[in-house]
Chain A
């Protein structure tokens, strides 16, 4: 969805992290610091990645070797059997429909939330109006409500609109869940783009809305990406509401699907859970890689100038 965002060259004018010019005597000291820091960074990298590695490592091991007293730090008995189980084993709740549901719901959520949040953030930054403050406060407070308490009420609202077991229903709930954060973040971002730019555009003959779309919107790209990533992770990983609201097996999303590998008879297919988790993480990582460059620069301006 981000690829559809018109990206003006201006948006890429993010300053690269500056290499600082060293003071005269400090060169050597700086070099040793850099080495030390590099070593530390490798250590942090390992800490961050280990659980991810462990998940992937496990997913490639035969099930009877996972729970045994000898540890396997790499999949020395490499097998794809767990992936076969997860993807094709007959009698299993199939992976692909769940993947489809998750993708559609998540992408719709991100797109709708970004559009709505963009409009709302324009309202609160470019206009003065009564109850503006109240609105901003409200979206902060909304984020404090424990979702677990609202499940039954939310269920009933969706039921009232006949939106149970539908993509739209779940999307609607997720949009509402990520909207407050998205508006909050984008607001700071829009604030960072001077009104003068729009005015200049209007002098050049653009309409006000034309100036928004042609000038402000492209400049917002990093902000949209940063907030989009957040919304993506939220919607992709949500479990409890999806479990309750979309109870028909064909409307299941991935987090719920992942749970079908635990049974009452008390046998858990750990390797399959790990293979499933790995598969579930792939779309997120792909999405991250696509938007990665823009994300870091975007994160700032948003959260940031609250």
Chain B
């Protein structure tokens, strides 16, 4: 569907211009046509059924709740009271929410930029490595990727531990710096520095593997032509390689934005280790604290709805592109 779709290595003898997927097939009788019409719906039924039951219904509940005064007593059976946009007004007029939002957006931005940058650079490097080093690197990245976020945070938190952490120990004993009992989490900036390391460390492998796989599909002739022209590496990448990978970049960037803006586990677990909660909460943690922690489910619902709207706004460009292409 995308016009750049020449990257399709599994089928070497494919035609240059990809055919648009069409309801092709032999001519059908009237009855069979009706069957064809219903088939896609039939194919969607299992997925839709699961999504409707497990996501759809709770989502409707959530939206309803966001217009109600819904606290713990309501969970245990008290009738909820409708308050219109009361929860939304409360959230939007609360300075804490805006602080949390700003913090989350900034953190998300930093994480996405560094994840994409590092992931891409490592992927480009992998193309040029010898087989041994490429394998070595893949294994390392795989191990990092396989590590559960919760465990990773515990381990990283420990590496940065105030009393017994490796980092402080090395900084003091090897470099002779004054990091004796230095707390890495007490200062919010430093807290997010550690959090970003954990998040980026966990996300880079996905980006690397995806981009690498994409790079292996850029035709050799293209790269060669570029290097013969004497184009510099950056130039060559931007002008020749990037267009091939554009759709990959768009998709993984969107996914990274969604994941990083909603980040929960790493921040939540890190707050358990140290730091000041009110200065380090991000959207995911804030929603959790509001709804499950404090039992304000109505307000939590309102924040969740607002979050989705923000994410939709951010990915609007992409969604539009996507729709345009679908129309082809």
Contact = CB atoms under 8 A, between A and B. Distances in A.
Given A45-B137, A54-B166, A305-B247, A133 B146 contact: no
A13 B12 CA distance: 9
A118 to B, nearest CB: 9
Contact of A123 (B44, B158, B217, B250): B44
Contacts of B250: 306
Interface string B292-314: 10000100110110011001100
B210 to A, nearest CB: 5
Given A119-B46, A300-B210, A148 B288 contact: yes
Given A144-B312, A273-B154, A14 B9 contact: yes
B142 A67 contact: no
A257 to B, nearest CB: 12
A71 B169 contact: yes
Interface string B273-284: 000000000011
Interface string B45-57: 0111011011101
B129 A195 contact: no
Interface string B131-160: 001101111111111111111101110110
A48 B129 contact: no
Contacts of A128: 22-23
B283 to A, nearest CB: 7
A195 B19 CA distance: 8
Interface in A202-232: 202, 208, 219, 222
Contact of A117 (B23, B25, B47, B57): B47
B67 interface: no
A15 B264 contact: no
Contact of A48 (B62, B140, B163, B308): B140
A166 interface: no
B214 A300 contact: yes
A99 interface: no
A252 to B, nearest CB: 15
A14 B10 contact: yes
B258 A153 contact: no
B41 interface: yes
Contact of A51 (B2, B139, B156): B156
A18 B213 CA distance: 12
B239 interface: no
Interface stretch (B88-96, B108-116, B318-326): B318-326
A90 interface: no
Contacts of A298: 213
A41 B50 contact: no
Contact of A119 (B47, B201, B288, B323): B47
Interface in A6-63: 10-11, 13-18, 20-21, 23, 26, 33-34, 37-38, 40-42, 44-52, 54-55
A184 B250 CA distance: 13
Contacts, number: 340
B187 interface: no
A20 B10 contact: no
Contact of B44 (A125, A135, A292): A135
Contact of A157 (B1, B14, B53, B247): B53
A129 B22 CA distance: 11
A87 interface: no
Given A23-B228, A55-B151, A300-B214, A192 B10 contact: yes
B39 interface: yes
Nearest to A283: B146
* Chain B contact residues: helix, strand, loop or mixed: helix
Interface in B198-241: 201, 204-205, 209-210, 212-217, 220, 223-224, 227-228
A260 B284 CA distance: 24
B128 A34 contact: yes
A123 B42 CA distance: 8
B312 A54 contact: no
A108 interface: no
B21 A125 contact: yes
Contact of A288 (B26, B133, B146): B146
A161 B139 CA distance: 43
A66 B113 CA distance: 36
Contacts of B216: 14-18, 296-297, 300
Given A150-B58, A202-B26, A284 B40 contact: no
Interface in B12-48: 12, 14-15, 18-19, 21-26, 36-37, 39-41, 43-44, 46-48
Interface of A: 10-11, 13-18, 20-21, 23, 26, 33-34, 37-38, 40-42, 44-52, 54-55, 66-69, 71, 115-117, 119-120, 122-129, 132-133, 135-154, 156-157, 161, 172-173, 175-177, 179-181, 183, 188, 191-197, 199, 202, 208, 219, 222, 233, 236-237, 239-240, 255, 258, 270, 273-274, 277, 280-281, 284-285, 288, 292, 295-301, 303-306
Given A51-B156, A129-B41, A153-B58, 5 more contacts: A21-B220, A199-B24, A202-B25, A255-B150, A281-B151
List the 8 closest A-B pairs by CB distance, nearest first: A153-B58, A149-B304, A176-B54, A123-B43, A300-B213, A127-B40, A237-B148, A45-B140
23 contacts: A20-B223, A23-B227, A41-B126, A42-B136, A48-B140, A117-B47, A127-B36, A133-B326, A137-B323, A144-B307, A146-B284, A147-B262, A149-B291, A152-B291, A172-B54, A173-B54, A176-B51, A176-B53, A179-B47, A196-B19, A239-B265, A297-B213, A300-B7
